[in-house]
Amino acid sequence: MPDSLKQDIKAGKIPLLDLTPEIEALWDELLKAIQGVLKSGQFILGPNVKAFEEEVAQYLGVKHAIGVNSGTDALVIALRALGIGPGDEVITTPFTFFATAEAISHVGATPVFVDIDPQTFNINPELIEPAITPRTKAILPVHLYGQAADMDPIMELAEKYNLKVIEDTAQAFGGEYKGRKLGTIGDAGCFSFFPSKNLGAFGDGGLIATNNDEIAEMARMLRVHGARQKYYNEIIGYNSRLDEIQAAILRVKLPHIDEWNEARRQAAKRYNELLKDVPGIRTPYEVPYAKHVYHQYTIRVMNGKRDNVKQFLADEGIGTMIYYPVPVHKLPVYANSNCHLPEAERAAGEVLSMPIWPEIAEETQIHIARGLEEALA
């Protein structure tokens, strides 16, 4: 355990996420990579972006990886590349970060919200078919907290109704579903490299993964103002390119992602053991056919006690976070959706994410578990 974290525990301060061990371990490599970009003078779509795209495509097992400015842009561009636009409907989950639905709205389509599976927090495949209409063009599942959505029934429905599937994999880089990497099962997978993600940059960054040549070509055009050749713009696009420095940083980190994800899984197992007899909470459910990568370790706090528990832990210096306090269909911008989705609404009142990162020490987790027990007492 780093001395700084020992001091934090003594001082009663534990963050939700601590990135310093990862940075310290890779400091020399990161510094060399950043300096290499600075010395090269190539800052936009340079050799590191190209190399990272090739390396991450190989890791994921896809033909194409297209680096973009953010996970949000990845969703918008993927939707555009798949021909989703005004008048179309896209079925998605209400229990996710706002960007998922926002991207659908940005391309002129309408998000149609379907309730979640209370065990996994992901979209409930059994509820998708009744939501399909003649305007439905795509399904956009989210692999929330690092847990795989149940993709087989989603893909079966897509085939039955000739729908596209875009996976929001922002929180699940390296996660798997029945032996396949998340983000590679649908027509396109969208990733975020926001600093707090399992594979995080030192700023914003995103990626689109696909095995479809036409989708890849369109995505590459859209990220550079809709042009295959500079100054010969064919469609209205975006200025959305993965930064060369961020690509260099991600190249240093990528070889470690499986090790980091396994460390997160081990930390989750320790939490499960520490919390198994604590009344009033429910620990995360891990589906047997998938590999959860625990971007967040999210418990349910039952009986209306979540907010009080969060405040108690904050007073004890233990950082927690609510992802997400308001389901998307209840936000003002989507107030006209007029839907009642009880499982998503119930989850929004009960979820609480606990501190987790690959290097979190058992001593730290014991301290957190004791604090949680006290909060519930």
Whole-number pLDDT of residue 11: 55
Q: CA angle, 374 as apex, 369 and 377 as ends, to 5°?
A: 125
Distance of alpha carbon 80 from its chain centroid, rounded?
A: 20
Residue 281 CB neighbours (<10 A): 21
Prior bond to 145 cis, omega within 30? no
User: Do 205 and 193 form a contact (C-beta atoms < 8 A)?
Assistant: yes
Domains and CATH numbers, the chain: 3-10+256-376 (3.90.1150.10), 27-255 (3.40.640.10)
Predicted pLDDT of residue 342:
98
List residues bridging with 167 in a β-sheet: 189
Q: What is the pLDDT of residue 1?
A: 47
* H or E element that contains 219: helix 213-223
Neighbour tally for 61: CB within 10 Å:
11
Q: Identify which of 275, 294, 293, 291 has the alpha carbon closest to the alpha carbon of residue 283.
A: 275
Please spell the DSSP secondary structure of 166-177, one letter per residue: EEE-TT-TT-EE
Tokens of 364: 């730290």
Please state, in angstroms and rounded to a whole number, the distance separating the CA atoms of residues 376 and 85. 48
* Positions of the chain with pLDDT lower than 50, given as ranges: 1
Contact 151, 185 (CB under 8 A): yes
pTM of the model: 0.96
Q: What's the chain's length in residues?
A: 377
Residue 8: predicted pLDDT: 56
The model's pLDDT over 163-197, given as tens digits with 9 standing for 90+, comes to: 999 999 999 999 999 999 999 999 999 999 999 99
